Structures are given as C-alpha cells and as structure tokens.
Structure 1
Amino acid sequence: MTAVTETASGPGYDPAELRANLMLADAGVLLCVLAQLTGDAGVLERFGRKIEFVADPPEQVGVTDRETLAALAEEIVAALAAPSPDAAERAVDRDFFAQLLRWGLGSEVDDEQVDLLLEQGGFRPSQPTLPRTVEIPQTTSMAIIGAGIAGIAVALAAAEAGVTFQIFDRNDEVGGTWLTTTYPGIGVDTPSAYYSLSREVNPGWTNYYPQGAEYQSYLVALADKHRLRDHIRFRTEVEALWWDEARNQWEIHTVDGGGVREVSHASVVVTAAGYLNRPRWPDVKGRDTFAGVSVHSAQWDSSLDLAGKKVAVIGAGCTAVQIVDACVDEVEHLTVFQRQPHWVAPRKRLTDDVPDHRRYLGTHLPYYAKWHRLKSYWGTADNNYKVILQDPEWAAEHLSISPANDVLLQLCLGYIDRMFGAGSELAKKVTPDFAPYGKRIIRDPGGYYAALTRDHVDVEAAEPAEINARGIVTADGRQIDLDVIIYATGYHLDFLSTVDIRGRDGRKLADEWGDSPRAYRGGTVPGFPNLFITSAPNYSPGHGAGANFSMEVLAHYIIECLQLMALRGATTIEVTREAFESYVDGIDDAMSRTVWCHTPNAHTYYRSGSGRVVVATPFRLVDLWQQHRAPIEEDFVLR
C-alpha cells in the first residue's frame, strides 16, 4: 500500500513523464488539483468553461480539447515546482472546497453534503464535534472484537484520541473476511478507489474492483504502518461479554488457540465482527452422502483443483458469480443451481485493470487520488438513493418501484437480452421477478453471463432436489454426476448471536433482540452500557458507498461518546429505552417506503426470521453521517 501525501512529487518525479500522464487524465479532476495546488479559485473560471462532463457510469468524466488539457498540465507542473506557501491550508477550506465540487464531481452538490465530502475524499480528517476541554481519562480502556476493516478503523480513532485499546481476533492475521475467504475470483464489489479508509487513500490499486488478496494486503499494510499488532491478541476468540456492575466494566471471556480460557476487563467494548460469519449449508436430503468433494465458498480448500472436473455451483449470488467467472475455463462441465436469480449489472469497461496513468498520478500528484476516491463515492452514494424508494403509483403498474429504479431494471434487462437473446429460455431463467435492489445488485466481473452461454455450462432454475453419492438429482428427477459440489449458499445472519453477551442484571442481548435485532445510534442497546456494535442492525448502507463508510462514521461517534462521558465525569453511557424505541420506530417508518419492504418475493438476508428488514439502513448516507456527529445527551443515562 502506498499512502497519498500532499507533497510536490514522489520518488523518480520527471516533468516530462508527469506531462505525458496528465494528458491522459480527467480534466475536471486536474482543474480541482490545480486550484488546490495554487490556492486560486480563479482557475475555475479560466478553464472551467472549456470542460464538458460525459457520463461514464456511475461517474461523470471531465473532457476537453488537447490544447486546454496541455495548458492545464503546464500550470500543474509549474505549481509543483513553485508551491504557494498558503495553498495547502486553502485547499481544504470549506468554502473554497465547495467551489471545486462541481468540477471535480461533474454535478451540482447541495451544501449539506460539503463537510461529509471533505472527509470522504480524505481531504480532511473527521472533525471533533464536542468540546475537548476535558481529556478522556487515562483509565478508559477499550476492547475491540475483530481485526478487520471495522476493528482497524476504531483502533485508529482510539489511538488518535489517546484511548488505550486492545484488539481480540480469532485468526492469526488481520483482515477478517478478506483473510479467511479465499475462493477463486473473490473480489471487492465496491470500487477500489473508494473502498479504503479516508485517512489512508491507496493510489496503487491494480484493479477497479481488486481481488481479495490485494485488499487483504491493504489491510495488512495498515496494521503494519500504525503498529496495530502491538495491540492485537491473535488466535483469541471472545466467547462471552458480561457486564460487571461492581467494577463498571465488561468481563471479556476468551479462549486461545490452545484452549486456554481467560477473563480480562475493559471499560468499553466495541464489537467489530461482521454479521455474516458462519457458513450456511442448504438443507438438502442426502448432502452428506456425496462421494466426491464438497466445499463451502467460505471454507475454500486451496489445494482443490477443478481442472477437468464435473462441477456444480449451488447459488446465484455475488460469490457464485465470481466463482463461475473464475473457473469456467478450467472445468470439464459446470452446472449452476440457482434458487432465485439476481439482477446482474454489466461491467462498464473492457477490462478492470487500472490504467498506468491513474496509478502514476495517484502516487505523484497531490490531491489526485483523493478526487478519484471522492468521485467513486459520489457516483454510488446519495445520488443513487432514489433507486430504493417506492413510488406507489409507478409500482402499481410496473415491476420496478419507481422511474429511477426502472432505469436500472432496463439496464439489466438490456444486458440479459444482449447476452442470451430476448425471450430465450436462458434469458427467462436468469430474469428476476422482483424490482432491482430487492436483493443486493450483482456486478458481473466480466465473464459470468458469458459463462452461462458456454456449451459445457448448464443452468438449473431450481435448488437440488436431492444429493446422492454420484451427484445431484434435479427438481425434475434427472441425475447429474459430479466430481465437486461448491456451496455458494451464504451465511447465517449472526448479529453477535455466537457470543454470550449479558448486560445489566444479567440480561442477555440474545433475549433482548429475539429474532428482530434493533439498535440506536452507534449500535447501542438499553441495558448494555459502554457497548458499541459496529455491524449494528439497520446500519449497513444499502443503496451506495460501502462498509468502510459506516465504520469510519461509527468510529467518530464512539470517540464523541467517550468525550461526552469525560465532560460529565461519567464512567458509563447507556441509551434510554425511550430514545431507543423512538429511533427504531423512525427506522421502520423510513424502511416502509423502501424497496426491501415492497419486494416480499425476493429472498434476501436483509430480513430476519421475523420478516423485519434488519441489515440495511433506510436513510441517506448524509443523514446517517449527521446522526452520528455527536451523541444527543438527553438520549442517554450518564453515570
């Protein structure tokens, strides 16, 4: 990982090479970079009128004539050679930055978004909200459960605030999902330019949607750079968290790789484990009788060789799509069993390889990688919010739920028609009967739909009826002989259900939640003081951005809660029942207008056993960000 620094140039900087790469770049981004390097908003007037923006979904790209581009390049080279002494401070001035957004993002931006965009672009760190007139006590200790991206984000925020912390992780390395999940083709389905921490923008991604190993390397580099290993207890699983009323601390019950159990204490606990951890195996008759190789995508055997094998993939979600795309050329025959098809969006580029000029400029040109991070965020963030909102009149007469939702539906339908032929049997098999976003949208890695058209690939539009020693019996009674069965059947939805969490008076979190987990801001629950849940119910962005957004927002909020405790001389913070219920009622009211409540036929892990949508947030990202700027004091009991 190469972090971006706002210096004039990096190692090996050569003006001629820089000019050549600048001539390949987005003119709108270069205009913003020039303004920030010089601190001069006047360049917007001089160059802006000559730049047009063309759609390159989900972004808008700035283009201009070569003469103007060359002039931009020359002024950037000159600005790097003779930096303005006060430009760096002006570059992140809110009003100045707001003037740049139209040119950097290619669209008008409401003022309510400006402060959020300053952070999400990595131009400015998260700003303290509450007064820092009293320091968080040195006696405050934080236990972080999990060393994936959420745990890392919280750890960095704690370190910055001077809070002592320790991370517990059951694995022997950082990374979480990206460490343990290694099936063929695994990759990030959020653009790489954005799917990072805003404080650590990585200009060196080789792929617009990097493979899992590259993302894992990014997380390892973060841990190394910030010396997080000094704070991590690897190969240590947290079995229970019990509130100790006498000590006003949490008891942390752990077991290490050798089976040794231990109890430690911390005043604050942050759970940074995701809710998709335990592989879900389908309940199919005879599953254990298969004589060949059975493997779940979450527990991939790296020694498994699929070359020349007769293989079945059970599943049609993102994981199945990536596996099929990756292995179709290896296998002798492939059968895909889909319980329910997903909407699949086409890849917009011929290749996902990041162009050399993007990587070069990201490393050598200040602000450049940050603008591309921001463009990547903006293209799929609140601009996309209308896609999940139902228009009742429209939905009454269409499969889609609104005109905005229909744009995506038509894009996906067009892709189906191009790849399979309109009205063909295969087209019918892969076409969903619910609106887009009823289940999570899948991005074709580049070869999934094409793979389904191959002569040695079959698609079964049903789950297996039975499994026997030879293979799978289909729903209509056919025997398919197999060498390997791959279960891409997802995970159990675990909101901390594998950890014994007991709050005040021994109340179990599992009993509080039942089959409908709920939480207030910060993943807080009444009766469970000083407990923050990063992968909280109704906290995952459902229409855009990524988990990195919500994790950074929550890391900020947790520190603000600790600051409020310090200001009031309190040792515990606990949300009131009234505030909790009111907030959850607001979630349910907003959720009632979203696609997830109007596509009941879509099988999705977003719903709990009760049928309530418990994963996605129904709010805009800017609303979620605003909700977590600072705790509302009257919503808490501080003791």
Structure 2
Amino acid sequence: MLQPRIKQVIARLGYNNTILHNNEIMSANKLAEDATTRGPFALGDFAIDEYRPIRVAVIGAGISGIVAGVRFPQKVPNVQLTIYEKDDGVGGTWYRNRYPGLACDIPAHCYQLTFEEKDWSALYAPGTEIREYLQGIVDKYELMRFIKLRHEVVGAQYAEDTGKWHLRVRRTDAETGATSEFENVVDVLIPAIGVLSRWDWPDIEGLHDFKGELHHTAGFDPQEKSWQEVAEDWKDKKVAVIGVGSSAIQLVPAIQPKVQRLYNYVRGKTWLAVPFASDTFATLLGRAPEDAEDYHFSAEEIERFKTDEAFYRRFRAVMENDMNSMHAATLRGSDLQKEATELFKANMRRKLAKKPWIADCLMPTFPVACRRLTPGPGYLEALVEDNVEFITSPIKRITERGIETIDGQHTELDMIFCATGYDTSFQLPFEIVGRDGMRLNDRWQPHPTTYLTMCVDGFPNMFMVLGPNSGIGSGSMLIMIEYEVMYAVQAVLKMQRERLKSIEVQREALLDFDDYLESYFPKTVYSEKCRSWYKMGAEDGRVVGLWPGSALAAAKAIMHPRWEDFKYELIDPSKNRFFWFGDGQTYNEKTMSGDRAWYLGEEYVDVPPVPDKQSRLMGL
C-alpha cells in the first residue's frame, strides 16, 4: 500500500490512478522518495545569459590560430583568448617556409578563407603573397592583442579537481634571446600546430660533414632579402636537391635557371598532376590555347577581379566546384581514377619527351593520389634542361665535398638542399597530460586515435585543429580549418552557457569513429603500397593523415556537434542540470539595458519562402 505522504507526492508528480500493481507501487515509491529527497534548491544569482568568463588558449598562430583569433572573440562572449606562437611572426608553415619556388599547390582562389577574399597574382600564389594575406587578416581584425609571439608551450597538464589546463610556456626575449618560463591556467586548450610543422634532416651518413652550403627547404631563410636576391650569387654553383616531394617539385624549377648545374637525387616515384582546375581557369578567363599554361594573371585580369565583383564571385565559385569534384579519383578502380592515370601518364611523357627515360624512372606503379599529389608547374620541363641531371642511384653517403651514390659515383657540389619533408609521426614536441597522468604521446602509440580528429577521451576540454586524420585528399584544407575551429567554438559556448566544468568525449564514440576509419580506407587508393606522410612515412599501414571521405563530407560531419557523444561535469555546487537557468531572466531585463527584442533581429528571423501557386500547379 502507498503511504499518505507518498500519495501526495505521487499526485504532485502527475499520478492519479490509485490502483497500482506491485511493480508500479515500487516504482511510485522510488519516484516519491527521489522527489522528497531532492526537493527545491537555491537558484543561481545570475541571469541565464550572464556568461561567466572563460579562458581559452590556442597553441600556434598559423592559419588555424588566426581563424580561432577571429571567431572566438566574434562568437563567444566574455572570452579571454591567448594564442601562443613560438616563432617571430604569424602564418605557421607559411611563415617558416621561404625556400625558392614556394607556392600554393592548389588554386589560390580555393586557398583563402570563406570570409576574406584576395586578388591573387597567380593561380598558384607564391609563399610571400600568402604570408602577406595572413598578416593582412591579423592586422584587419587586430589579432595581435591575443597573439603572443616567441612564446612556446612546453607542457600542458589537466587538473581533474578544477577542470582546468595548466600550461607551461617558455618566453624568449626578442632583444637578448634570454628565456624564462611561466604558467598559465585556462579552461579550454586548442592545440593548432598542424602536422607539417616540424621538419626533419634526412638520415644520410656524413650529412653534416659537408663543407658547402647545406639547407633544408623548411629551414632555408634568406634573412632580410628575397630568395631571388640571394640566388644572384648561385650562377656558378653546382647544387643538389634531394627529394621528389612537393617541396622539391617547386624548388627545382625555381633554381634551375639560377645555377650552373643542378642534380636532383630521387629515391622514390611520384605522379605529377596536370595543374588542378587549369582547364576551368583558362575557360573562365577566356584564355587562348597558347596562354593556357601561363598561370600568372595579367594586369587586365587582376583589374577585372577588383572591379567586377560578380565575375570574381563566379570565378571563385566555379573553381571551388571544380576542386570539389575530384573525390571519386581517390576511390580504387573508379572511372575518374582511371582517367586521371591516363591523363597524367600522357602529360608526363609529353613533357619529358627530350629525356624519355626519366618518365620510366619517375612514373609509379601505385595509383594516382596514393601519396600527396602536386601539379608542380615547371618541374618536368626543368628536368629536361641541359644543366639538370636526374639521379636515381641511391645516396650512399655525403662527403665534405659532395654526394657519393651506391654505384660509386661522386659528385662535387657547392650547395645541397634537402627537400625531405617533416616529422609526421604525430608525436608532439611537448607533453600533453590528461586524466590519471595519461600522456597523449603514449596514448598515440603505435598510431593516433581521435574522435572526429579533434577530441580524445581522457583529455577533457581539449579540441584540436588539424589533428590526426584531418587532412583533405581532395579540396581545400582551409574549409576543414574553418569548420574545426567553429566546432571548438560551439563546444566552448556550450561549456559557458550550461556552466560545465568539463566536456569529454566518450570512449565508445571515439572507438566508433576509429572503426569507421578502418572500414573506409581499404576502398581508397590511400591504402595501396606507397610511401606517404598520410601513413606516417611508411609504405603500408594505417592512414593517419586524412579524413575518411571528401572535404564536403567532412564539413557536413562536423558542422553540428553530436553532444550525446560527450560526458559532462557541472561546475557549480548544485547538481541540478538546470541550475544554469539562473534567476529566470536575461541580462538585459536584469539591467534594463540592451536589446530586449533581439528575437526580431535578422540573425533570428527566418522568413520562409512562399510557395508559388502557379509553379506548383505546373509541377515545377
């Protein structure tokens, strides 16, 4: 039987049927006891939108950090944002890389932020122009108020009791070079360092015994000059370029006319793509066939971009559409994959006709796009020039005077460029320590696992930008950056709005995404046998560099967070999930200030289209 007090509580909870079975009586008793025990609670003394201050730290002021610098102050009220950058300037890999020929390897109009357009000088914009573009965004949005240059994060540890990240930061004095360390405590950590940020010297015997000039493409610094000014002294030099990746493919044609003799040492094979969207580019500009391969915009074309906004928008949209039409080429056996293979073969043989044996040595047996594709305008043309030697015999060692290959040949050199890539192991250069002392580098052995490339269970309040599996096989990486930053923004807004101490992805959700990766990649060319940074520099194994699908699918997948995939802790003593409602009013009502009809603003009013009755009757 139900006790009178329990009957009263049941009535308050909406039960009015007094004839209950035994199991229903037990449930009713439990419900009544819960209601009696829980009772009312003290409301918060704040308005529902009186948001607490929230501290966010971003590691890195590359493109990801710059986008974060724009979006967090725009979208998150009462945010205290700090962006730590170890270098002397902004731009990330575009700031550090200054090698000859550095350029964007997709059309520049597809390598710009959705909200910030530019009139580029060439289809494949030079690195200097990209640096200027990024610096321009920093200046326009006054981001230096958030960015701390020469500040390197050397450690990050999560404190479970407070739900905060404790960062150790090493600061370098610009004038004296002296370093000091300090701690900063934040609510949210955004690692945005990217994968192509730490370059590696090749493992070649005697490398640093060389007495001439030795450069890594990522470490080449012409100081206050342009590389073209520096190259004026190279006309009598014998120069070697080691590698055939994207950096070497840009470097070789840039310096070939500047040096006496150029030796390209090539260990592997690679496909040279027909320049991306080049046909579309020429058609949109109305180029004559003989001008189709001149990838610089004329003064008239640039002026038209500046003065004809509709033309610029159409040009950009059509180029983006073209770039986002290549996904099928990444699928094994697809028609587009076959077409691309035949097109690239024909193009490579045509441009290497003067030295046809190079095509036989350079063209792979693995499918197109198995490793990163680059169009490399001018590379094939440079290889057939009289002052260039293409050397496929493996390097045995580097001597004080040059390079010796395993066939016994020794070439004396004045300068060596190592275009040998980056550390793509996803082992971070500093410790990130989560719950229970778990180190992220340990967690990412033998390979990294994430939830949607951004989150890891055991590491609450951390959202990575361009983490493992966030690369794009076709399309523009900048779309991924923008959407990942906005994902982090939405998470921070949820933490702030609902007064959360922590937000942490569930282990099961991470494992489900990991299973999706394992199921997706076997149907793609990325799983074929080829050495690629997509697979941490290995020929075989797990793909850790790429999103499992197209750029458009990635954007759709992360546009709307699945909050049910996370677990939460509340920050307030009250554990009622609606404590964040506060005192039942908004801040503008509480202070009788601001807009109290905000719901009539453009961003809130969604006017639906009125059906056209005539069109409906006609079946249109």
Q: What range is the shorter-chain TM-score in? A: 0.7 to 0.9
SS in 2 for 1:264: strand
The answer to whether the aligner puts 1:326 opposite 2:286 as a matched pair is: no
Which of 147, 151, 165 is the aligned partner of 2:61? 147
SS in 2 for 1:490: coil
Amino acid corresponding to residue 176 of structure 1 in structure 2 = G
Q: What displacement does 1:408 show?
A: 1.1
Matches within 5 A, 1:7-406: 135=49, 137-161=51-75, 162=77, 163-202=79-118, 204-257=119-172, 258-302=178-222, 303=230, 305-347=233-275, 348=278, 349-381=292-324, 383-391=325-333, 402-406=334-338
Structure-2 change in CA distance of 1:160 and 1:605 (3 Å): same
- Cα-to-partner distance string for 1:316-369 (whole Å, 9 max, x where unaligned): 111111111101011111110111121112344321112334433333334443
SS in 1 for 2:109: coil
- Cα-to-partner distance string for 1:539-584 (whole Å, 9 max, x where unaligned): 1111x22221110011111122223334533121100000000011
Which of 553, 557, 561 is the aligned partner of 1:627? 557
Structure-2 change in CA distance of 1:476 and 1:522 (3 Å): closer
CA distance in 1: counterparts of 2:453 and 2:533, whole angstroms: 22
Is the CA contact (8 Å cut-off) linking 1:136 and 1:563 kept in structure 2? Answer: no
- Cα-to-partner distance string for 1:274-327 (whole Å, 9 max, x where unaligned): 112222222122222222111111110415742210111000111111111101
**Partner of 1:472 in structure 2?**
403
The answer to whether the aligner puts 1:410 opposite 2:342 as a matched pair is: yes
What TM-score, normalized to structure 1? Answer: 0.74
**Partner of 2:524 in structure 1?**
594
Amino acid corresponding to residue 380 of structure 1 in structure 2 = M
- Cα-to-partner distance string for 1:571-610 (whole Å, 9 max, x where unaligned): 211000000000111122111211111x21x111111368
Is the CA contact (8 Å cut-off) linking 1:522 and 1:628 kept in structure 2? Answer: no
SS in 2 for 1:501: strand
Which of 460, 467, 470 is the aligned partner of 1:539? 470
CA distance in 1: counterparts of 2:86 and 2:165, whole angstroms: 19
Amino acid corresponding to residue 432 of structure 1 in structure 2 = P
CA distance in 2: counterparts of 1:580 and 1:498, whole angstroms: 24
Is the CA contact (8 Å cut-off) linking 2:84 and 2:151 kept in structure 1? Answer: yes
Which of 411, 417, 421 is the aligned partner of 2:353? 421
SS in 1 for 2:197: strand
Which of 463, 468, 493 is the aligned partner of 2:424? 493
CA distance in 1: counterparts of 2:457 and 2:300, whole angstroms: 52
Is the CA contact (8 Å cut-off) linking 2:475 and 2:550 kept in structure 1? Answer: no
Is the CA contact (8 Å cut-off) linking 1:138 and 1:164 kept in structure 2? Answer: no
- Cα-to-partner distance string for 1:111-168 (whole Å, 9 max, x where unaligned): xxxxxxxxxxxxxxxxxxxxxx965834111101111111111221101113331110
- Cα-to-partner distance string for 1:471-502 (whole Å, 9 max, x where unaligned): 11123111111111110000111535102100
**Partner of 1:85 in structure 2?**
none
- Cα-to-partner distance string for 1:204-241 (whole Å, 9 max, x where unaligned): 11111110000000000000000000111110001111
Moved more, 328-337 or 241-250: 241-250
Matches within 5 A, 1:510-525: 510-521=441-452, 523-525=454-456
CA distance in 2: counterparts of 1:505 and 1:439, whole angstroms: 38
What TM-score, normalized to structure 2? Answer: 0.76
Amino acid corresponding to residue 541 of structure 1 in structure 2 = I
**Structure 1 residue ranges (4+ consecutive) displaced by more than 4 angstroms after TM superposition:** 133-136
Q: What displacement does 1:432 show?
A: 1.4
The answer to whether the aligner puts 1:456 opposite 2:387 as a matched pair is: yes
CA distance in 1: counterparts of 2:156 and 2:450, whole angstroms: 18
Structure-2 change in CA distance of 1:256 and 1:566 (3 Å): closer
SS in 2 for 1:144: strand
**Partner of 1:578 in structure 2?**
508
CA distance in 2: counterparts of 1:171 and 1:208, whole angstroms: 28
Structure-2 change in CA distance of 1:525 and 1:538 (3 Å): same
Amino acid corresponding to residue 208 of structure 2 in structure 1 = D
**Partner of 1:58 in structure 2?**
none
CA distance in 1: counterparts of 2:417 and 2:410, whole angstroms: 17
Is the CA contact (8 Å cut-off) linking 2:162 and 2:501 kept in structure 1? Answer: no
- Cα-to-partner distance string for 1:239-269 (whole Å, 9 max, x where unaligned): 1111122321111111011210010011011
CA distance in 1: counterparts of 2:352 and 2:307, whole angstroms: 44
CA distance in 2: counterparts of 1:456 and 1:356, whole angstroms: 33
Moved more, 139-148 or 211-220: 139-148
CA distance in 2: counterparts of 1:371 and 1:582, whole angstroms: 40
Is the CA contact (8 Å cut-off) linking 2:93 and 2:196 kept in structure 1? Answer: no
Is the CA contact (8 Å cut-off) linking 1:294 and 1:484 kept in structure 2? Answer: yes
CA distance in 1: counterparts of 2:49 and 2:471, whole angstroms: 31
- Count of residue pairs brought into register by the alignment: 491
Amino acid corresponding to residue 211 of structure 1 in structure 2 = P
SS in 1 for 2:198: strand
Is the CA contact (8 Å cut-off) linking 1:209 and 1:352 kept in structure 2? Answer: yes
CA distance in 2: counterparts of 1:135 and 1:143, whole angstroms: 23
SS in 2 for 1:439: coil
Q: What displacement does 1:428 show?
A: 0.9
SS in 2 for 1:531: coil
Amino acid corresponding to residue 246 of structure 1 in structure 2 = D
Q: What displacement does 1:179 show?
A: 1.0
CA distance in 2: counterparts of 1:426 and 1:174, whole angstroms: 40
CA distance in 1: counterparts of 2:199 and 2:250, whole angstroms: 17
CA distance in 2: counterparts of 1:416 and 1:623, whole angstroms: 32
CA distance in 2: counterparts of 1:287 and 1:186, whole angstroms: 24
Is the CA contact (8 Å cut-off) linking 2:479 and 2:555 kept in structure 1? Answer: no
Gaps in structure 1 of 5+ consecutive residues: 1-132, 392-401
- Cα-to-partner distance string for 1:79-120 (whole Å, 9 max, x where unaligned): xxxxxxxxxxxxxxxxxxxxxxxxxxxxxxxxxxxxxxxxxx
**Partner of 2:286 in structure 1?**
none
Amino acid corresponding to residue 585 of structure 1 in structure 2 = D
Amino acid corresponding to residue 105 of structure 2 in structure 1 = D
SS in 2 for 1:588: helix
